[in-house]
Amino acid sequence: MPAGKTMAKHRNPVRKEMLHNRLSREQLLKQIAAEQPVPRRTLSFYRYLKIEEPQRLRDELYREWSAMGVRGRIYLAREGINAQLSVPVAEFENFRQNLESRPGFGAMRFNPGVEDDGNSFLKLTIKVKRYIVNDGLGDFELDETVAAPHLKPLEFNRALEEPGTIVVDMRNQYESEVGHFENAICPDVPTFREELPVVADMLQDKKNEKILIYCTGGIRCEKAGAYLRKRGYKNVYQLEGGVINYAHAVKQEHLPSKFKGKNFVFDERLGERITDDVLAHCHICGAKSDRQINCANEGCHVLMVQCEACGHRLGNCCSEECQRISLLPEAERRALRKADESLKNKTWFSKKIRDSSATRSNP
């Protein structure tokens, strides 16, 4: 190994600690977060706007937000920004001013987390993408003439009670599996880009009906609502701020919650509980559970619903084989990940456990 690389390895204290204790980077970051707790606020926001130089903006934000201790996952593109992050409470106002001082970012609407333990993210990642949501629509122009009107939570509740109203979950199957609105249509699709044409096909004879759509924080519904309206669906409405905003309104305005179960979130928590209802079943044994985890074998890491009993029996792995691999030394696990490409076929395995879950639910 070249001398420069050896020196760089030892200059990096995180990498040095990883090598010394044989920890993965994720394990070490979790350990650091536990040992150095800082009060944090989890939030998400998005905006469709024209960004001329997303790479330059990315570099600016990364430098400035890193200095504030911000963690999270942010996507930038020429069409806008999509952000989920956590900010140290002591830096929150500095963060807000830093963001909103930029042209086009003023008066940003933040969606605060519902259940916030301060450990939603372990590091800061800001990526430049072609699009901020992988919707498969290409260069789809959003404008006020096609945008679906927003309904506030109380308005959404009232619309749900109107006879003939159709409500559609615009999230993925693994999200709606653990929580959804009463009587919602929940398409069995693994990605948003697959869902749009499926929904349009399912509702092709409902173009004059009142259609309500919702997602986690609102960003997917911006595109979905416009997509449907451009195809002749006249009465499409979206839930303002998504399920996250709805959950806050339920608590603050004492509204009856028509969303049941958990709201899936894309961070370390994997979910925020909205009601005590448990809608899902363990993918291993079929017991009622909405505990979602990733398989503890890093080479698999498939997302699954697993009850506490199966988690204890399998060491939070999806199978006995993955459990065996997860107990091997890190060097052996790394070698297996490189050698056995079948373990990386998450899409295949995700479909397998969804199909087995569907079989148990619909014998």
Q: How many CB atoms lie within 10 A of CB 151?
A: 19
Cα separations in angstroms, 93 against 68, 99, 100, 290, 331: 11, 10, 10, 36, 44
Cβ atoms of residues 214 and 239 within 8 Å:
yes
Cα separations in angstroms, 136 against 81, 220, 280: 17, 12, 29
Catalytic positions, please? 215
The tokens describing 208, both together, are 């004059």
Between CA 15 and CA 224 the distance in angstroms is 43
Closest by CA to 318, choosing from 330, 306, 327, is 306
Between CA 351 and CA 59 the distance in angstroms is 37
Would you list the DSSP string of 62-119?
Answer: HHHHHHHT-EEEEEEETTEEEEEEEEEGGGHHHHHHHHHTSTT-TT---EE-SS--S-
Angle at 124 between CA 18 and CA 101, to 5 degrees: 155
DSSP reduced 3-state for 286: coil
Would you list the DSSP string of 303-332?
Answer: EEE--HHHHHHHTT-SSHHHHHHHTS-HHH
